[in-house]
Copies of this chain bind each other. A is one copy, B any other.
Amino acid sequence: MAVASEKTEIARSIADARKRVAAARRAGRDVALVPTLGALHAGHMSLIDAAKKSGAYTVVSIFVNPTQFGPNEDLAAYPRTPQRDLSACAEAGVEIVFTPVAAEMYPPGDQTRVQPGPLADALCGPFRPGHFRGVCTVVAKLFQIVQPDAAYFGRKDAQQALIIERMVTDLCMPVKIVTCPLIRDADGLALSSRNVRLGAEDRAEALCLYRALKRAETLLKGGSRSTGSIIAEMRREISPRADVKVDYLSIVDPQTLEPIGGSARRALVAGAIRIGGVRLIDNLLVDMG
């Protein structure tokens, strides 16, 4: 157990993390978990701040989980900024940063998975086979290790938050899931650890996804329910550059992720694009009153 600051401990093993959390529990503290892949940005920090404000003993896990990356995805290229992450956690007053190694999270012979249902087939599902199974599996493990009272997730990953909520309900896990607002840069770009992989030009071009979502919001709020034509309008906002690819642009029910009907009062407008090899997602929750 190394010391990152006066207050923040680093737990590198499951046993270390458990020991610290057990001591906090004996001292009467509630426990909060903020699971992350590291490369912390203001979005993560907003989750950490919410956990800290709850008064709970706050555990931030940093683990680039291999099972949620497909064979052709960016596991190796995923940004890693361990020193900056630790400093940010220390400054935020985090009690433990838990940085397990893959060999302990996936012990020899490991073969059990937590398999989500149809919610994982929508939106990002078809483009990232096995991704949400990997997410559910690692989050279930983290919940078993830390046994938090509450766990914090961001609405940037709206589908993930919904699938985790479903897992917690279905598996009777005694954890409260707190979903926090998506955080954007001043120009509107949704914060993502992957944004650092965008050059200045690609970064500017990436804003087209947000513009497409805003266009859909305007049309939905204006009364249109013709999702086909709204999505066609959205596509017009997407950069025509040859290396900008749309995975999907979708308008779905925020709870079921199924297509909205004509009488829908809320919609999740969501999209994923790839730009210069970097995959970006974004979404807006639209209230049509």
Binding site for B on A (CB under 8 A): 14, 18, 105-107, 109-119, 133, 136-137, 140-141, 144-145, 147, 166-167, 169-174
Contact A114 B171 (CB under 8 A): yes
Contacts A14-B172, A169-B107, A172-B14: A112 and B115 contacting too (C-beta < 8 A)?
yes
Set B109, B110, B166: member contacting A112, Cβ < 8 A: B166
Known A107-B169, A169-B107, A173-B144; judge A114-B117 contact (CB<8 A): no
Instruction: Select which of B111, B116, B166, B169 is within 8 A of A170 by beta carbon.
Output: B111
In the assembled complex, the Cα of A173 lies from the Cα of B147 at a distance in Å of 10
Q: Is the CB of B144 within 8 A of A110?
A: no
A112 touches B117 (CB 8 A): yes
| Contact, CB under 8 Å: A109 / B172 | no
A62 to B107, CA, bound (A): 32
CB <8 Å contact, B109 and A171: no
| Copies, count | 2
Q: How far is the CA of A200 from the CA of B147 in the complex (A)?
A: 50
Q: Is the CB of B172 within 8 A of A110?
A: no
A111 touches B174 (CB 8 A): no
Sample of 12 A–B contacts (CB below 8 Å): A18-B174, A112-B116, A112-B136, A112-B167, A112-B171, A113-B114, A113-B117, A114-B171, A140-B171, A141-B170, A141-B171, A145-B172
CB distance from A154 to the nearest CB of B (A): 21
A71 to chain B, nearest CB (A): 18
Contact in complex: A109, B144 (CB < 8 Å): no
Known: A144-B173, A172-B144, A172-B145. A114 touches B114 (CB 8 A): yes
B112 touches A118 (CB 8 A): no
Q: Within 8 Å CB of A118, what residues of B?
A: 111
Contacts of A140 in B (CB 8 A): 171
The 3 closest A-B pairs by CB, nearest first: A111-B117, A112-B170, A144-B172
Q: Give, as a whole number of angstroms, the nearest-CB distance from A129 to chain B.
A: 15
